[in-house]
Amino acid sequence: MELRALQYFVTVAEELHFGRAAERLNIVQPAVSQQIARLERELGVRLLDRTSRRVRVTPAGERVLAAARETLAAAARVRVVAGERAATLRIGLATCVTPRVARALERLRDSDRPADPTLIDLPVTARIDAVRDGGLDLALVRGAVTSTAARVVRAWSEPLHVVLSPGHPLAGKPTVSLHDLDPHGLRLPAPATDPPLHDAILAVLPVAPPRPPAGDLLHVLFEVSQDPDAWTLVPAEQLDASRTDRLLQIPLDPPASIDGHIVTSLATPETCVASYVAAFED
């Protein structure tokens, strides 16, 4: 039994489609089918029910799926123990490099098993897909993430701050309550730009925003800087790398926060996941 066959089976079971699984594995579809058929012959059970319209994991396949994931994770642990590691640690994140990220990179370089981090700028959805497909070793995501094809671990928490222009009526306050802000002045990026962050911000608002979200964060910040009645909510650390005299960052009262998560492959060894969390934690 080859690890490759187990990896192919896990990928098909996650996609429930041979064509999509082949795309993820970057191989031709017949090769996937051949490996699955060979694995079924070796095990003496049918792992997948296939028709022209759908693929379904059989009860035996569900049991093998759990064991296959454990086996792949164990194989990854063996490579780590043997000292075999990638030359670089590929980290997916947003464009800005915050003090937390800079500190984490130093921790990763100075750890017991030093890594050579490489930062890759990708949208949130693409980040998670890249972790799942092996294009990234880990991704950073603010807000809740649900994925059956990746492991999501909370690593830190940071406050949400109100961002407004110096001409805003509340600009001189040391703290601001959401109830003191005019909902019609709220500007938010379009949900598609960062779905987990967008949902997390909506969860703290006392009322739904009356204005449809539009554009990305830079578009929103520019609009807020030009309009004395406009405001937005941003994770405190996200604005650290793009401070400007045209925008003020004010803490909320009562405080509100957002969680940051590490997203890794299901096959990533527990020791590696723990080291990633330790690097980025508060």
Nearest of 72, 65, 70 to residue 15 by alpha carbon: 65
Same fold, 89-156+259-280 and 159-256: yes
User: Splitting the chain (282 residues) into consecutive groups of 10 residues, what average pLDDT does each group show?
Assistant: 88 88 83 91 92 88 90 74 63 82 88 80 88 88 87 95 95 95 94 92 91 87 94 87 79 96 90 91 89
Q: How far is CA 118 from the centre of its chain?
A: 16
Residues 6+ apart with CB under 8 A from 157: 257, 258, 259, 260, 282
What's the token pair of residue 161? 């701050």
Nearest of 210, 235, 209, 208 to residue 221 by alpha carbon: 235
What pTM was computed for the model? 0.69
Architecture of domain 89-156+259-280: 3-Layer(aba) Sandwich (3.40)
Nearest of 87, 46, 95, 67 to residue 3 by alpha carbon: 67
**Amino acid 244: pLDDT:** 73
> HSE-up of 196 (CA within 13 Å, CB side)?
21
Nearest of 53, 59, 52 to residue 13 by alpha carbon: 59
**Amino acid 87: pLDDT:** 45
What's the token pair of residue 136? 């990234």
Architecture of domain 3-81: Orthogonal Bundle (1.10)
β-pairing verdict for 48-50 and 55-57:
antiparallel
Instruction: For 159-256, give the CATH class.
Output: alpha beta
Cα dist from 87 to 49, 64, 107, whole Å: 40, 32, 16
Ordered by start, the domain boundaries in the chain are 3-81, 89-156+259-280, 159-256
